[in-house]
Structure 1
Amino acid sequence: MAVTDRPGTVLSETGTSDGSEPTGDPDHGPPECPRERVNRRWGEILQETRVAQTGVQILFGFLLSLAFTPAFRDLQAFDRGLYVVTVVLGASSTAALIAPVSIHRFLSGLRLKHEVVETAGRLMVCGMVMLALTIACTLLLILNVVIGGIVAELVVCLVMLWFGVCWYVIPLRLRRKALRRRQP
């Protein structure tokens, strides 16, 4: 028996307009058809992008302003090189985190939302890795000037270990656990 959810859209018995099986997590609400899923994922990526972009833009603005401070002239060669690497990483992470917006704008209306969502997701991961590296280099630059030596490097390593746990280890463990739960 066919059912409609919107005028002009006929759904199959499975609840999707193309007859395919709906997807979704049975523990968290009703199943969603592929179109609903890609639209939901795109909305989630936009929200994640807003959060990441704000962070990277604030950090990048801070980095750019450092070169114009009087103390910048006193930096050693290593710290100046680290600054350059940090600024390049910041610019690169900015590009990767803003890219989904540009991709969407250029491909809007071409019915490529699935491809846009997949590409945007990959760029977000890439941008987050570069953002973590930018943060590590920024910390090292600041702590090298403030406390210097092995202590600065140790503190940066510990902070980045924490970033790794929060940003990658925990999500990957949860993902693995969810995938195991879905297997029959």
Structure 2
Amino acid sequence: MSEERSTAHYDRQGEDKRQRLDRQWNELLQELRLAQTGTQILFAFLLTIAFQNRFQDADSFTHAVYAGTLIAAALAAGLLLAPVSFHRLVFQQQLRDQLIAVAHHLANGGLALLVIAMSGGVLLALDAVLSRTAAIVVVALVLAWFVAFWYLLPEYVRRTSTSRGPRSGSGE
């Protein structure tokens, strides 16, 4: 059975180009909804930190990490929301194939910035409760964890998949 799973591949026979593009757009929208929500919550939380009395007394390292984290969260939110704006501007122009290609890259960029923003947020929090060195080490491990599961694992599965053969371009 496990050998069957490793050699079988997922195929959508009978799906025409328009159906594939509609499915890909809907899948991308679902992914973006999840990423946008988390990013917007993180961004809102970060906005409140600057107005806390204790934060005003923090050192320059904390202020620099905060600034970088806030900017990364804002840019991540911008990239993760950009496909919505893009869709509005090209709506009913028969550009779904280009919309999906551009939105794919925007989402990837937004997720990369989200990793940076989340790592920065963890560093801000841990710097308040651990030594700075310990906080930086833990954040390096958190960042490595994100990279491993968000990027390296999917890339490993993609490269080692024996079930796909040559890519047909039909997409997921």
TM-score range, shorter chain: 0.7 to 0.9
Which one of the candidate residues 111, 122, 145 is aligned to 1:139? 122
Deviates more, 1:154-163 or 1:141-150: 141-150
- Give 2:86's aligned residue: 103
The one-letter code matched in structure 2 to 1:164 is V
Assess, with a 3 A threshold, how the Cα gap between structure 1 residues 173 and 39 changes in structure 2: closer, same or farther: same
Q: Confirm or deny: 8 A CA contact 2:21 2:100 kept in the other structure.
A: yes
Deviates more, 1:141-150 or 1:27-36: 27-36
1:142-176 C-alpha deviation (Å, 9 max, x unpaired): 11122122111110011111111111111111222
Deviates more, 1:141-150 or 1:131-140: 141-150
1:149 aligns with 2:132: yes
- Give 2:73's aligned residue: 90
In the TM superposition, 1:50-61 aligns within 5 A as 50-61=33-44
- Give 1:121's aligned residue: 104
Aligned length: 160
* TM-score (normalizing by structure 1): 0.81
CA distance in 1, matches of 2:118, 2:125: 10
Assess, with a 3 A threshold, how the Cα gap between structure 1 residues 26 and 173 changes in structure 2: closer, same or farther: closer
CA distance in 2, matches of 1:174, 1:42: 23
- Give 1:75's aligned residue: 58
Structure 1 runs of 4+ aligned residues shifted over 2 Å read 25-31, 177-181
Q: Which runs of 5+ in 2 are unaligned?
A: 1-7, 168-172
Q: Which runs of 5+ in 1 are unaligned?
A: 1-24
The one-letter code matched in structure 1 to 2:110 is G
Assess, with a 3 A threshold, how the Cα gap between structure 1 residues 178 and 36 changes in structure 2: closer, same or farther: farther
Greater relative contact order (CA < 8 Å, ≥ 6 in sequence): 2
Sequence identity (%): 36
* TM-score (normalizing by structure 2): 0.87
